[in-house]
Structure 1
């Protein structure tokens, strides 16, 4: 695993794209602070850049560095969640502008997968996590269902867990600073 993390960090630091197993599905990732790298993700997925992406952080401390104010209820939601949960926060900080939605929000998930946690900790920056498919196509249920266009479009494919079936996609909750909670995806 250490060799895979080293390889990923080298690619991420150079603005490249990785294909990696997450706590939910196989994801396309890049440095969430690098606008040029994020643009490559939109291009590969054939996705409009007006549709915001999810980014992963390694822990609560990293989350707090990239959100102006994490509402207290967010910690309760994350502690009580029974599956990976992505929360959309107001006023993200230090992320590429093209990752941020037009309403100045960002979808962020604290990674629960050990590989993702180690990778993000070593990289010291959030990474993008978006499903490994062209926008509009079904999300691949396993590595073997990822189409050639995606496989050839990334700079590095993590050589771990190729036999793993995807878990369910994360829940998505929009949590405003005024404590308004809206469930986007259960």
Structure 2
């Protein structure tokens, strides 16, 4: 897979449409407020809703989370399915990416072409399902709405054999290590 052009698009603050480790995603540079705003506008995501960032390794968590409970590493490492963890306080990302309570949702991508993309980019990607908020999750590339396609400067095709699955599980962690599943 050639990701040279998608990487350039991300560096320029544009959005990229691509298969993630779960579903079709629309992603951009999580450190650029204008990119986050473009993503929110494109997918009609309200400002009170936090967004997910994608990372490539748990060693990166300390850069983007104020305090990482030890339990987070075990949850991520041993999760059999993709898992998004909501931490109480994010940092070093665009302010308009955080939820109103300053929490941050992070998924460490473990495999697939999305891992290559985020790792090669070297910074977190803000990412959301490639659909208008509240609309069905696209199963195939052809199911993605024209408005979403047009907003993406680059589109990475799905590799042979890739199928859109279900969104990740989401767990909210407290500073003391307490947790609750938001989406199973």
Alignment TM class, shorter chain as reference: over 0.9
Q: Distance in 2 between matches of 1:65 and 1:100?
A: 15
The alignment's TM-score, normalised by the length of structure 2, stands at: 0.94
1:129 maps onto 2:127 in alignment: yes
Q: 2:37 — aligned with what?
A: 39
Q: 1:48 — aligned with what?
A: 46
| Consecutive aligned runs of 4 or more in structure 1 exceeding 6 Å deviation | none
Q: 1:181 — aligned with what?
A: 179
| Equivalent residue in structure 2 for 1:104, among 82, 102, 105 | 102
Query: Residues 10-64 of structure 1, C-alpha deviation per residue, up to 9 Å, x if partnerless?
Result: 0011110000110000000000000000100011012212211111001012222
Q: Which runs of 5+ in 2 are unaligned?
A: none
Query: Residues 138-181 of structure 1, C-alpha deviation per residue, up to 9 Å, x if partnerless?
Result: 11122221111111121111133376321221000000112120
Q: Let me know the Cα RMSD of the aligned residues.
A: 1.4
Deviation at 1:114, TM superposition (A): 3.0
Deviation at 1:79, TM superposition (A): 2.2
Q: 2:76 — aligned with what?
A: 78
Q: Distance in 1 between matches of 2:158 and 2:24?
A: 11
Q: Distance in 2 between matches of 1:153 and 1:125?
A: 21
Q: Distance in 2 between matches of 1:129 and 1:163?
A: 22
Q: Distance in 1 between matches of 2:152 and 2:177?
A: 38
